[in-house]
Amino acid sequence: MATVSPSTSVLDVIRSRRSVPRLKPDPVPRELIAQLLDAAVWAPNHRLTEPWKFFVLAGQSKRRFAEIRRDFRRTQLPNPDAAEVQAALEKVYRDAAETPVIIAVTSHVADDPEQREEDFWATYGAAYAFMLGAWSHGLGTYFRTGALRDYPPFRQLLGLPPDHRIIGVIYAGYPVEVPQRRRTPAAEKTVWLE
């Protein structure tokens, strides 16, 4: 399993970070999450709008999030009351409820389309900075998006005003295992223009 140590370089952290689906139930110190968020807000941000807000869900709010996630999944099924889908729906609940740290990452939605786009990029930049920082401390993360972001009960849980949008949800915890994934070498995606 790829691991990091205090001497690991930034490039090694970037290269070895993976989206980790299987996380141990072990608690993550609140101070570490706060420290990582303190670093994340140094992400680049045009006009310093600081559009992000982070909702760290613990205890009752995490269980409520798990219910919302399960309810949302039900809305996507043709026959949500069928006996054969109940176990899968329970797993949707459990996967969220048993994740040690869940952070909803939200952004201000600016009226100006250009600023709106830039604010979303900046917010994702902050989320990625959080994930890299987390990995540098051996903490695995998984960033998830999807239509759940705009599901009204999720917005209600956070008390989001209409001019804010959920950009994604970061799941975090200590990895059970770190999956291997592939990338096309950058040389195949790079054009050097003289």
Ligand X SMILES: Cc1cc2nc3c(=O)[nH]c(=O)nc-3n(C[C@H](O)[C@H](O)[C@H](O)COP(=O)(O)O)c2cc1C
Q: Which of 5, 31, 181, 186 binds ligand X (CB under 6 A)?
A: 181
SS3 assignment, position 190 = coil
Residues of span 34-73 touching ligand X by CB under 6 A: none
Q: Considering beta carbons, is residue 64 or 144 the nearer one to ligand X?
A: 144
Of the candidate spans 24-32, 38-46, 94-102, 138-146, the one that interacts with ligand X by CB under 6 A turns out to be: 138-146
Q: Considering beta carbons, is residue 18 or 70 the nearer one to ligand X?
A: 18
Q: Does residue 145 belong to the site contacting ligand X (CB under 6 A)?
A: yes
Question: Cβ neighbours of residue 136 under 8 Å, at least 6 residues apart?
Answer: 4, 8, 13
8 neighbors 185 (Cβ within 8 angstroms): no
Q: Considering beta carbons, is residue 129 or 192 the nearer one to ligand X?
A: 129
Q: Which of 63, 73, 137, 144 binds ligand X (CB under 6 A)?
A: 144
Of the candidate spans 69-77, 85-93, 103-111, 142-150, the one that interacts with ligand X by CB under 6 A turns out to be: 142-150
Site string for ligand X, 1-40 (x = CB under 6 A): -----------------xx---------------------
Residues of 152-190 as b/e, b for ≥16 C-beta within 10 angstroms? eebbebbebeeebbbbbbbbbbbbeebeeeeeeeeeeee
Nearest approach, Cβ of residue 46 and ligand X (Å)? 19
Q: Which of 52, 130, 143, 154 binds ligand X (CB under 6 A)?
A: 143
Pairing of strands 140-144, 164-173: antiparallel
Q: How many whole angstroms separate alpha carbon 163 and alpha carbon 53?
A: 12
Q: Considering beta carbons, is residue 34 or 88 the nearer one to ligand X?
A: 88
SS3 assignment, position 148 = helix
Q: Considering beta carbons, is residue 186 or 193 the nearer one to ligand X?
A: 186
Q: How many whole angstroms separate alpha carbon 95 and alpha carbon 171?
A: 10
- By CB under 6 A, the count of residues binding ligand X is 8
Nearest to 16 by CA among 125, 184, 140: 140
Q: Applying CB under 6 A, which residues contact ligand X?
A: 18-19, 143-146, 168, 181
